[in-house]
Amino acid sequence: MKEPVWIVGVGMTPFGRHIDRGVPDLTAEAVGEALTDAGLEQRDVGAAFFGNTTQGALEGQLMVGGQIALRGMGFQRIPIFNVENACATGATALHLAVSQVRSGAVDIALAVGVEKMNVPDRAKAFSVFDGAYDVSDPAGLTATLIALGGDADASDAGRRSIFMDVYAAMARAHMARFGTTQRQIAVVAAKNHRHALHNDKAYYRTELTVDGILAARALSFPLVVPMCAPITDGAAAAVVCGERGLRRLAVSGRGVRVLACAVGTGVERPLDASDQHVTRLLAGRAYEEAGVGPEDIDVAEVHDATAFSEIQLTEMLGLFEPGAGAEAAGSGVTALGGALPVNPSGGLESKGHPLGATGLGQVYELVRQLRGEAGARQVPGARIAIAENGGGFYAGEEAVAAITILGV
């Protein structure tokens, strides 16, 4: 049996546009809040995992970003590891911190993810997404997207990252197979924008109607702007410890148990074999490790880089049957007050999506939920939570998926 590990402190900056702040400053805010939350000081941390995906491309800081950001705020002597795993970077940093503690190498470890993506050159910011698929085979990407979702007319689509075309192709495939509609996708987006009203760390905090969303600027059918995550700056952090570390903490009663922390890649499969989707396979592994099933989940944060993604991922996690995710959202099941709230933080579409921080931002939300500290967005009685953080694109699905299951 694996050694027990707890998350004992979390911290997060507001997600949004931080024009006058850099990576070290954002890092310091999230890490400082996490340490205070845990009742710890920097000297208590035995190892740190620093997640970032874009600083090299946007600032030229190709190496030692974590050493610069963390040593600059006072972390010395400890090992600092730089982590990059596309949009799953934050959850991957957490996975590595959990593994380090579980191995007995250290008592207490830190995971932090941070991005500064809003730079003066907007085209440069969009270009970072072009490195999250196989750049040696752009024709292969085009062929895969056509095989998934048909050769859609995008002549009226506005400026966007290539991943909006990726998610749009996935959405069109789901629409063709299950009859999912653009309006159902808009219902999910409206729900998440409504959730964000109660989150003072969310980027967009404006309620939108379904009809208003459908009338918004088109990107790549069926997606429109309010269905999609914005380019965002921000940081999030978590402090994890084992039993020895927990005994040192005065706030041990607020620790949240890590029941499972799994990261994986996919398998060769036909594009329509959703039962072999990377998230479906990894979810089975995570549930087995946690000793729970999808029926036990009280609250979820999933990687809704688009509103469609939430529909697909709730199905891949086994929370709903294939093809039933959109109907569940439309009936209110996944809204606050429903049987299984999904993305009570507002999700990536509303809270924001600073790539390397996103997975830890999900964990921040779920830890607050399980402690009963989420205020107006609190899910009553939540005891088991799941986060899914995915990234990149390969062979018709995310190149990497990360699933974390937490419990109290």
What does the alpha-carbon distance between residue 366 and residue 344 come to, in Å, rounded to a whole number?
9
How far from 189 is each of 84, 165, 192, CA to CA, in Å? 28, 18, 5
Question: Is 353 part of the annotated catalytic residue set?
Answer: yes
Cα–Cα–Cα angle for 349, 351, 356, rounded to 5 degrees: 90
What does the alpha-carbon distance between residue 164 and residue 224 come to, in Å, rounded to a whole number?
9
> 130 is written with which tokens?
């072009």
> 253 Cβ partners below 8 Å, 6+ apart?
none
- The alpha helices in 80-121, defined as continuous H runs, are 89-102
How far from 193 is each of 11, 179, 183, 213, 219, CA to CA, in Å? 22, 24, 15, 10, 18
How far from 145 is each of 97, 116, 257, 314, CA to CA, in Å? 35, 29, 39, 22
Question: Is 228 part of the annotated catalytic residue set?
Answer: no
Question: Of these residues, 87, 228, 241, 261, which one is catalytic?
Answer: 87
Question: Of these residues, 95, 193, 277, 353, which one is catalytic?
Answer: 353
What does the alpha-carbon distance between residue 403 and residue 255 come to, in Å, rounded to a whole number?
19
What does the alpha-carbon distance between residue 399 and residue 109 come to, in Å, rounded to a whole number?
27
φ and ψ at residue 235, rounded to 5 degrees: -145, 155
How far from 64 is each of 15, 61, 111, 375, CA to CA, in Å? 24, 8, 16, 38
Active-site annotation, residues: 87, 353
